[in-house]
Structure 1
Amino acid sequence: MLEKCRNAKERWGGVSQIIDQWLEQRQQVISGFINLPDAEVGEMLNARLDEFCSNLIDYISSGHFEVYEQLLNEGKDFKDGSVAEAQKLLPLIQSSTDSALDFNDVIHGFSSPTLRELRDFSTQLSCLGEKLEERFELEDQLIEILHNAHKEQINATA
């Protein structure tokens, strides 16, 4: 997952300040996710969970309320059908948003977990990781469809 994030930064880094910031947020989410399983149960785990969930919600919010909007507006300017193609991805991305929000809600009550809750947490974390990986791939497709397809035309008019 981290390697794919680096590849995305290499492909789209420097193209747009909003995309650069968003990809940096993505890397923070991935890094936090990778470090969660190594945290000791107790205050250390709770602190890492709080930071991870905060970064996750910030990342998701930036995507929905800034990045996707910018990319869709950019695509609309070209009237080449790319917006319709990209909009097919949004409901798929929304599925992972729902999973992330559900995870965030569950984690807020996770201060003194039982063994069962720890086992369930492990399962939930694994499922979230799968959803995030799917999300990152879909978001990369969104960038590819709406930004890279028009990059040369945008640079020519700049």
Structure 2
Amino acid sequence: MLTKLESAVNAWGGSNPLVDQWLGSRKELLINYCQLAGLPPYNKDIAALPTESDIKQFCNQLVDYVSAGHFEIYDQIASACERNGPRSKALAEAVLPKISTSTDVALDFNDKYTNGVDEEALMQLDQELSSLGQAMEERFEFEDKLLESLYSNHSEAAAS
């Protein structure tokens, strides 16, 4: 996921301050996810469960990321796609509902882990993080499709 993010930053970074901020938030979320899940290159030397504070911090960051997408960024991207023609508009209409699936997974994760973590929940954390990671990876792919459409159409319009 971090490698794909680097590709996205290389492709679209610097094209728009909102996109830069969004990709920066994604990077912070991914780093925190890797730390929480104990994934390279952020895995800890000691195999220990994350603290409740670490989990809550990640949940807050997760909710901030998905909320920013739905309430700030997607509307602007969808509007730009509409202006860029029927293909871009059709892509936005097809992709945005698919992104909502990952939002549901993220909010369910948040609901389960943000209001206190008991031993049973901690025992399920690895599996829950894995499911969340898969959902977020799909989300990032859909978000990148929107960005690619926006960027390529904007670049074509600017070149004309």
Identity %: 38
Structure 2 counterpart of 1:11: 11
Superposition map of 1:36-55 within 5 A: 36-38=36-38, 40-41=48-49, 45-55=51-61
TM-score using structure 2 length: 0.86
The number of aligned residues is: 152
- Post-superposition CA distance 1:6-32 (Å, at most 9, x none): 111111100110010000000011001
Structure 2 counterpart of 1:67: 73
State the Cα distance separating 1:37 from its structure 2 match: 2.8
Whole-angstrom CA distance in 1 between matches of 2:57 and 2:108: 16
Gaps of 5+ in 1: none
1:83 partnered with 2:83:
no
Alpha-carbon spacing, 1:108–1:78, altered in 2? closer, same or farther (3 Å): closer
Superposition map of 1:76-155 within 5 A: 76-111=82-117, 113-114=118-119, 116-153=120-157, 155=158
Letter in 2 for 1:147: Y
Whole-angstrom CA distance in 1 between matches of 2:116 and 2:100: 25
Whole-angstrom CA distance in 1 between matches of 2:92 and 2:83: 14
State the Cα distance separating 1:85 from its structure 2 match: 2.0
Whole-angstrom CA distance in 2 between matches of 1:148 and 1:65: 24
TM-score using structure 1 length: 0.87
Whole-angstrom CA distance in 2 between matches of 1:134 and 1:117: 24
Letter in 2 for 1:6: E
- Aligned 8 A contact 2:102 2:139 in 1: yes
- Aligned 8 A contact 2:59 2:114 in 1: no
SS at match of 1:29: helix
State the Cα distance separating 1:65 from its structure 2 match: 1.6
State the Cα distance separating 1:144 from its structure 2 match: 1.2
**How well do the aligned residues superpose, as a CA RMSD in angstroms?**
1.8
SS at match of 2:115: coil
